[in-house]
Amino acid sequence: MKIAIIGAGWAGMAAAVEATQAGHTAIVFEASRAIGGRARALNGTLPDGTPVTLDNGQHILIGAYSETLRLMERVGVQATDALLRLPMALVFADGMGLRFPAWPTPLDALAGIARARGWSVADKWSLLRTATGWQMQGFQCAASASVAELCSTLSPRVMAELIEPLCVSALNTPAQRASAQVFLRVMKDALFGIQGGSNLLLPQVNLSALFPQAASDWLGQRGGQVRLASRVETVTQQGQGWQIESEHFDAVIFANSASDAARVLENTAQSATDSIADSIWQWTACASALQFEAITTVYAWGAGATLPHPMLSLRSTASAPAQFVFDRGQLGGPPGLLAFVVSASTGDREALQAQVLLQAEQQLGLGLQAVQTIVEKRATFACTPDLQRPAQCLVPGLMACGDYVSGPYPATLEGAVRSAVAVIQALRDDAAHPTPNDTAHRESRP
C-alpha cells in the first residue's frame, strides 16, 4: 500500500519505519521544518555565547522500552553508544534514596529496597508488602483507582521519595489524579519484566539523533519520503482510498497531536459520507475531551558545575518544583550544563525558572545562570483513572497513532512507538482478514 503519515514525531517516524519494513511505501507529512515532534533537538546558547544543542525537554528511557530500542537498532542507532545504561537509581544529592544493584530481575528491586538509604525498616517493609500484593493481584486494580489510593498503605517517606517521583515522571500526572492501572502496567514491565527492564537509559545524543533523524535517513534509502513544511488541512475520501491534495493513498495515519488530528479530521468529516463522518465526529469528540499536563525543562549553567551522578532526584515542593536534574556534561554535552525537569508543571516560565535556580542553590549548593527554559504546555495527556482515549482505527484506511491513542502505556516515547507498531499491524490484519462490514463499506464507496 501507499500510506500517508501525518506528523514526523516519534510515533509518525516509527509508523513509517514499520510500514516500510512491511513492504509499504510511506510518505510522511510534517507541518514544521523539523522532525521529532515534542522530543527533538533545539539550538541554544550558553551565557558565554557558545552555541549548544539542547532538547525540547529532557527525556529518559528505561530498559523495558523494548519496542523503542528495537526500532532504534533497525534504523542503525547503536543503543550502547547513544544511551548510558545505569541501574535504577533515585538518589538525592546527600546520598539518600534508592539504588538498584546490577542483579537479575526482580532481585535487583528487592535488594535496592532492602538497601535504601534513609529508609526505616517500616518504610522498606511497607513497600515490599505492597509490591508483593500488586504482583499477587496480577498488577490489576479497579479502573477508577488513583495512584494515591493504590499506595495508601505505604509510608509517607516511600510515597514522597519513590512513588510520587516515579508517578509524575512516568505518567506526568500527580499521584492524587493519576491512573493506578496505567501506573501498575509500567511498574510490572520495569520491575518484573525483561532482564534490565528497570535500568535507566540516559540519552548521550540529542533527541533528534536518537531516533527520528536516523529513521528519516533509513526511510529515504528505501523509497519513502519525509516532506517538511507540508501542512495537511484535510483528507478526502476517494474510491477505496484517500486523497491529500491531488495525491492518492491507500491509507492515512494521523500521527500528529490530538488537537491537530482533530482539526484535520473535522475538515475531513465535512465531505465524507454519513457513516464515515459519524465515526470521525465520535473520534474527534473523544480526542477533544482529553486534558493535558505541562512539562518544564530549565537548562542552567555554571562554571565547574557537576553532579556526583548523571541524574539526581530532587526534593520537590511547591516552591522547589523540579523533581530531577541531569548533568548534560556527563551525557555528551558541555561541562557545567544541567537540565532540571518539572513534570506536571504549573505557573509561568519566569517564575518556574527563578524557583528552580533557587532550588539548585539550596539543594545542590550551585549558583547557576539560566540558559533556556522550555515550557511544553501540552506535553502529555492527563493520565487519569477511567480515561477514555481515542481509538487507533477510525474507519477502514483511516488510522491514528501517538502516545495519547488508546493503549496500555502512558504518554511516553515507548507509548508513542508501541502505538505506531500496533497501527501498522492493524492495517496488515485488516488487509489479510477484511470483515463483512469492511468489505461492504469498501464496495459501497463511489
Q: Is 244 a domain residue?
A: yes
Last residue of a domain, one of 198, 225, 243: 198
Predicted pLDDT at 436: 46
Cis-peptide, bond into residue 106, ω within 30° of zero: yes
Question: Is residue 222 domain-resident?
Answer: yes
Domain count within the chain: 2
- Does 17 map to a domain? yes
The per-residue pLDDT for 434 is 60
Residues 123 and 266 in one domain: no
Shared-domain flag, residues 163 and 258: no
Mean predicted lDDT score pLDDT of the chain: 94
Q: Quick: pLDDT tens for 191-228.
A: 888 889 999 999 999 999 999 999 999 999 999 999 99
**CB-CB neighbours of 278 under 10 Å:** 13
Q: Same structural domain for residues 169 and 97?
A: yes
Assigned domain for 193 exists: yes
For the chain, give the secondary structure using H, E and C: CEEEEECCEHHHHHHHHHHHHCCCEEEEECCCCCCECCCCEEEEECCCCCEEEEECCCCCEECCCHHHHHHHHHCCCCHHHHEEEECCEEECCCCCEEECCCCCCCHHHHHHHHHCECCCHHHHHHHHHHHHHHHHCCCCCCCCCEHHHHCCCCCHHHHHHHHHHHHHHHCCCCCCCCEHHHHHHHHHHHHHCCCCCCCEEEECCCHHHHCHHHHHHHHHCCCCEEECCCCCCCCEEECCEEEECCEEECEEEECCCHHHHHHHHHHHHHHCCHHHHHHHHHHHHHHHCCCEEEEEEEEEECCCCCCCCCEEECCCCCCCCCCEEEEHHHCCCCCCEEEEEEEEECCCHHHHHHHHHHHHHHHHCCCCEEEEEEEEEEEEECCCCCCCCCCCEEECCEEECCCCCCCCCCCCHHHHHHHHHHHHHHHHHHHHCCCHHHHHHHHHCC
Question: What pLDDT is attached to residue 240?
Answer: 86
Give residue 283's domain range: 2-38+208-290+387-444
**Which pLDDT score, from 0 to 100, does residue 367 have?**
97
Same domain, 422 and 284: yes
Picking from 136, 17, 43, the residue whose alpha carbon sits closest to that of residue 372 is 43
Query: Do residues 93 and 188 both lie within one domain?
Result: yes
Residues 93 and 190 in one domain: yes
pLDDT tens digits for range 288-334:
999 999 999 999 999 999 999 999 999 999 999 999 999 999 999 99
* Residue 286 sits in the same domain as residue 398: yes
What integer pLDDT is reported at residue 431 of this predicted model?
Answer: 72
Say if 47 falls within a structural domain. Answer: no
| 378 inside domain | no
Q: Which of 198, 220, 243 is the last residue of a domain?
A: 198
Rounded to the nearest angstrom, the gap between the alpha carbon of residue 304 and the centroid of all alpha carbons in its chain is 32
Question: Is position 239 within any domain?
Answer: yes
- The pLDDT profile of the chain, 446 residues, written as one tens digit per residue, is 999 999 999 999 999 999 999 999 999 999 999 999 999 999 999 999 999 999 999 999 999 999 999 999 999 999 999 999 999 999 999 999 999 999 988 899 999 999 999 999 999 999 999 999 999 999 999 999 999 999 999 999 999 999 999 999 999 999 999 999 999 999 999 888 888 999 999 999 999 999 999 999 999 999 999 999 999 999 999 888 999 999 999 999 999 999 999 999 999 999 899 989 999 999 999 999 999 999 999 999 999 999 999 999 999 999 999 999 999 999 999 999 999 999 999 999 999 999 999 999 999 999 999 999 999 999 999 999 999 999 999 999 999 999 999 998 999 999 999 999 999 999 988 777 665 444 333 333 32
- Same domain? 226 vs 157: no
**Predicted structure pTM score:** 0.93
Shared domain for 282 and 407, answered yes or no, is: yes
Residues 117 and 167 in one domain: yes
* CATH label of the domain that carries residue 286: 3.50.50.60
Give residue-wise pLDDT tens across range 76-104: 999 999 999 999 999 999 999 999 999 98
Q: Are 79 and 210 in contact (CB under 8 A)?
A: no
Single out the residue in 159, 178, 198 at which a domain terminates. Answer: 198
CA 363/CA 313 separation, integer angstroms: 10
Question: Looking at residue 275, what is its pLDDT?
Answer: 87
On whether residue 431 sits in a domain, the answer given is yes
Instruction: Say whether both 157 and 252 belong to one domain.
Output: no
Same domain (yes/no): 266, 148: no
